[in-house]
Structure 1
Amino acid sequence: MRYISTRGEAPALGFEDVLLTGLASDGGLYVPESLPHFSLEEIRSWRGLSYSELAFRVMHPFVDDAIPADDFRAMLEETYDVFAHQAVAPLVQLDTNEWVLELFRGPTLAFKDFALQLLGRLLDYVLEKRKQHVVIMGATSGDTGSAAIEGCRRCEHVDIFILHPYQRVSEVQRRQMTTVLGDNIHNIAVKGNFDDCQRMVKESFGDQSFLGGKTQLAAVNSINWARIMAQIVYYFQASLALGGPDRSMAFSVPTGNFGDIFAGYLAKKMGLPISQLVIATNRNDILHRFMSGNRYEQHKLEHTLSPSMDIMVSSNFERLLFDLHGRDGAAVKSLLENASKGPVSIEDYRWRHARKLFDSDAVDDKTTCDTIREIYEQNEYLLDPHTAIGVRAARNCRRDMAIPMITLGTAHPAKFPDAIAESGLSVEPQLPPHMADLFEREERYTVLDNDVQGVQDFIAKHWKNA
């Protein structure tokens, strides 16, 4: 399996190099040169498999011979054994043919655990094999940071630097990151928004001279292909649990950076019958404005009750644009350069092709709170604000009531008590036992100005072998 850049100029790489490289040298994102495709018969034969074994069947073609099959299978068993539910990703029914796929049963209570628990183990394996040390640099709008730290903190060959927007993540999200203390763990609160953090990460990957040639950066954000790869699996798992592949499924995905829903798009291309993918966003609705009106235009980023989606520059959208443009890297590069200067559109026939699969909706804070309250009153089931947006978008955009609609439950409600309180409910979501003392733990983080040079200087000074 070889991987190519969405901008067409970087060299093709194998899995190990893509794992460690993150962003391509031409500024693009890596995607597989070709996708594996599974027949309906093969997918049907996977019914009843454990989650880790299903993950092996779906992901092994992407890893190929980079990791021996037995080692990769053992790595997956270890990864998903730490989840708090035997099903790993259980389904909960809300209404007739309407479901929530609970993706928050991992150690940090968010869907990011599915990929980042695995990513830490992959990095450990490859870096030990190469006797190499790397510096992880990542940006988070709330959940990626804690999942990355939890997944990678025991890695012997990494230093971790996570950037989060200062005072723009929930207190639980912040404490999940900043209370994990270790010599190789560094949390940086940037006086800006998530897009500022993400821009710094991309600039740093583009020019790593600040590290003095002594090490290299590795990515934990969803620009890293391994993140996307791991998220494909639960689309297959949910489908198989509800009668797939003999019936089609629809999914509603709360998304800001487009990685989680792009994994669903890939699942369909790999043979899983999916009839509809709903892009569920908040007021930061650039993806909705593009999908509903073919206009990609950046607006000012707003702070909402669903902070993990407070994103205006959706990195993984580039991967979809690459496919929509017939995998023409030059066309994608030109489009994105123009997008940095003002609004852009794509050819109408390309946009209409995307609309065959994708719908979208933008949900404001009031409607988010109304949905949390409504679902709780109907089912005594508590949604976090991101999942509530997914449920509302699913109901607004649903094409066929006979097709199961599955909303991806992206986070535990206890991570967002302010949104629950604002919904008017008297119920207080409780953290699970392993986090019960979270508010008593010592915090450690550094506040820095919104300046890439200052952040780079901090990293250059504080990584282990600096």
Structure 2
Amino acid sequence: MRYVSTRGEAAPRGFEDVLLAGLAEDGGLFMPESWPALTPEEWRSLRGLPYPELAARLIHRFVGDALTLDELRTLTGEAYAGFRHPAVVPLVQIGTNEFAMELFHGPTLAFKDMALQLLGRLFDHVLAKRGERITIVGATSGDTGSAAIEACRDRAAVDIVILHPEGRTSEVQRRQMTTVLSPNVANIAIQGSFDDCQDLVKAMFVDAPFRGEMRLAAVNSINWARIAAQIPYYAYAALNLGAPDREVAVSVPTGNFGNVLAAWAAKQMGLPIAKFVIGANRNDILARFLAANDMTARPVEPSLSPSMDIQVSSNFERLLFELLGRDPAATAAQMTAFRATGRMPVPDAAWREATKLFTGFTLDDAGTLAEIAHLYREVGYLADPHTAVATAGARALLFDARMPVIIAATAHPAKFPDAVERATGIRPPLPPALADLYAREERFTVLPNALADVEAQVRAHARRNTAEA
């Protein structure tokens, strides 16, 4: 398996190098040269497998000769052993044909654990084999940071620095990051939005001397390994609901477009996903694009669903690359125009192709609270604000009662207790392992939205740990 950049100027490479590189040197994102397709018989053979085994078999399709299937089985077994539910990804029926796919039973109560618990082990495996050390930098709108820190804390060959927008995550989200006091972990609160944090991370990767000096690696969904590790849970849910002999739909609350892109990737592999609902809050650039080909960035507005408070969805570039016939020059031109003007002039034919599969749905804060209340009142289900956007979108836009709808339940309600309590009168408690979270010591640095300041902080963190190693 080889990977190419969406912008065409970076050399093709194998899985190990893509894992460690994250972002391509030309600013593009890595994509498989071709999609590994499974026959209906092969899909059927995966039914009933334990989640770690299913994950190993599907992810191995993207690994090439970097790991054997047995090596990958060991890593997936370790990654999901500590999840609080024995199914790892349980399905909960919340409507006639609506199923919440609960992705929040990992250590940090969010779907990012599904990929990052494996990614941390993949880094360890490859770095040990190569005898190398890396510095991971990542941006988070709330959940990626804590999941990445939990996956990488105390690892011998990894330093990790996570940027989050100051004051724009929930308190639980922030504390899950900033109370991890492991020496290889550093947190930076950026005075700005998540898009600012993400731009800073991308700028560090594009700064070739700094990238080389720090041996930068990525944990955001710009890293293809993140996407590959998210594909299995859509397969697991769909197979449990009758695939490949029955079509399914998915509804996903969407921020950086990586989660729903993983579902789309599963479709490229032959999984019969007929429709994709992209849920958005007031930061609705993707919904506007699908409704009217309006890909225009607006200022980010804080909401009750902060992990979706994004206007520049990095993984959309991967879909755009496919919509443009895998033309890297055209993709690069579109992305350059977007960064320069804040508007992406997607060709009409490409936009129409996207609307055949994807539908956008927008829900404001009042609607989100109403949906949380509705779910609890009607079926006794406590949903976090992000999941509520997806459940409302599924009910509003998917009318085929015979087709099961897989709703990505992306976060435990206890991560957003204020919103859940406002909607239902119930304040969901944290699981026992996190019961003392509010009493733990925090450690983070506040910095302006300035690349030089951030690079200096990353350099100081990595150099200190390298000296101590």
User: Any residues of structure 2 matched to 1:303-382 within 5 Å, and which?
Assistant: 303-340=302-339, 341-382=341-382
Aligned to 1:66, the other structure's residue is in SS state coil
Query: What's the counterpart of residue 414 of structure 1?
Result: 414
CA displacement at 1:393 relative to structure 2: 1.0
Query: What's the counterpart of residue 233 of structure 1?
Result: 232
User: Any residues of structure 2 matched to 1:426-441 within 5 Å, and which?
Assistant: 426-441=425-440
CA displacement at 1:395 relative to structure 2: 1.2
Once the two structures are superposed, residues 268-310 of structure 1 have per-residue CA deviations (whole angstroms, 9 ceiling, x without a partner) of: 1100001100000110000001011111100111000000000
User: Any residues of structure 2 matched to 1:166-315 within 5 Å, and which?
Assistant: 166-210=166-210, 213-315=212-314
Partners of 1:48 and 1:392 lie apart in 2 by: 30
Partners of 1:215 and 1:95 lie apart in 2 by: 50
CA displacement at 1:207 relative to structure 2: 0.6
Aligned to 1:182, the other structure's residue is in SS state coil
CA displacement at 1:45 relative to structure 2: 1.2
1:141 aligns with 2:145: no
Q: Is the 8 A contact 2:384 2:411 kept in 1?
A: yes
Query: What's the counterpart of residue 446 of structure 2?
Result: 447
Once the two structures are superposed, residues 26-81 of structure 1 have per-residue CA deviations (whole angstroms, 9 ceiling, x without a partner) of: 10000100110001111011111000111111110111210122111111111111
Aligned to 1:232, the other structure's residue is in SS state helix
Query: What's the counterpart of residue 466 of structure 2?
Result: 465
Partners of 1:86 and 1:368 lie apart in 2 by: 30
CA displacement at 1:208 relative to structure 2: 4.2
Q: Is the 8 A contact 2:110 2:411 kept in 1?
A: yes
1:376/1:58 CA distance change after superposition, 3 Å: same
Partners of 1:33 and 1:141 lie apart in 2 by: 30
Partners of 1:352 and 1:208 lie apart in 2 by: 37
CA displacement at 1:394 relative to structure 2: 1.0
CA displacement at 1:210 relative to structure 2: 3.6
Once the two structures are superposed, residues 151-198 of structure 1 have per-residue CA deviations (whole angstroms, 9 ceiling, x without a partner) of: 111321011100000011000000100111111100001111100000
RMSD of the TM alignment (CA)?
A: 1.0
Partners of 1:342 and 1:219 lie apart in 2 by: 25
Partners of 2:120 and 2:198 lie apart in 1 by: 20
CA displacement at 1:346 relative to structure 2: 2.1
Aligned to 1:92, the other structure's residue is in SS state strand
Partners of 1:104 and 1:161 lie apart in 2 by: 23
1:154 aligns with 2:154: yes
Q: Is the 8 A contact 1:210 1:457 kept in 2?
A: no
Once the two structures are superposed, residues 226-267 of structure 1 have per-residue CA deviations (whole angstroms, 9 ceiling, x without a partner) of: 100011001100011111111000000001100000001110
Q: Is the 8 A contact 2:255 2:307 kept in 1?
A: yes
Paired letter, 1:246: D
Aligned to 2:161, the other structure's residue is in SS state strand
Partners of 1:302 and 1:401 lie apart in 2 by: 35
Query: What's the counterpart of residue 401 of structure 1?
Result: 401
Partners of 2:208 and 2:439 lie apart in 1 by: 37
TM-score, length of structure 2 as denominator length: 0.97
Once the two structures are superposed, residues 354-393 of structure 1 have per-residue CA deviations (whole angstroms, 9 ceiling, x without a partner) of: 1111111111000000000010001111000000000111
Partners of 2:26 and 2:344 lie apart in 1 by: 21
CA displacement at 1:92 relative to structure 2: 0.5
Q: Is the 8 A contact 2:19 2:223 kept in 1?
A: yes
1:232/1:318 CA distance change after superposition, 3 Å: same
Q: Is the 8 A contact 1:208 1:216 kept in 2?
A: no
Partners of 1:133 and 1:215 lie apart in 2 by: 9
User: Any residues of structure 2 matched to 1:37-56 within 5 Å, and which?
Assistant: 37-56=37-56
Identity, % of aligned pairs?
A: 57
Paired letter, 1:326: G
User: Any residues of structure 2 matched to 1:384-399 within 5 Å, and which?
Assistant: 384-399=384-399
Aligned to 1:233, the other structure's residue is in SS state helix
Q: Is the 8 A contact 1:250 1:277 kept in 2?
A: yes
Partners of 2:253 and 2:120 lie apart in 1 by: 24
Paired letter, 2:91: L
Q: Is the 8 A contact 1:289 1:295 kept in 2?
A: yes
Partners of 1:232 and 1:345 lie apart in 2 by: 29
Query: What's the counterpart of residue 85 of structure 1?
Result: 85
Once the two structures are superposed, residues 379-426 of structure 1 have per-residue CA deviations (whole angstroms, 9 ceiling, x without a partner) of: 111000000000111111114121011110000000001211332x21
1:32 aligns with 2:32: yes
- Contiguous gaps of at least 5 residues in structure 1: none
Q: Is the 8 A contact 2:14 2:64 kept in 1?
A: no
Partners of 1:134 and 1:378 lie apart in 2 by: 49
Partners of 1:347 and 1:301 lie apart in 2 by: 25
Paired letter, 2:410: T
Partners of 1:399 and 1:207 lie apart in 2 by: 48
1:67 aligns with 2:67: yes
Q: Is the 8 A contact 1:190 1:449 kept in 2?
A: yes
Q: Is the 8 A contact 1:284 1:311 kept in 2?
A: yes
Partners of 2:184 and 2:343 lie apart in 1 by: 41
Once the two structures are superposed, residues 112-139 of structure 1 have per-residue CA deviations (whole angstroms, 9 ceiling, x without a partner) of: 0010000000000001111101100000
Q: Is the 8 A contact 1:262 1:320 kept in 2?
A: yes
Q: Is the 8 A contact 2:154 2:182 kept in 1?
A: no
TM-score, length of structure 1 as denominator length: 0.98
Aligned to 1:169, the other structure's residue is in SS state coil
Query: What's the counterpart of residue 122 of structure 1?
Result: 122
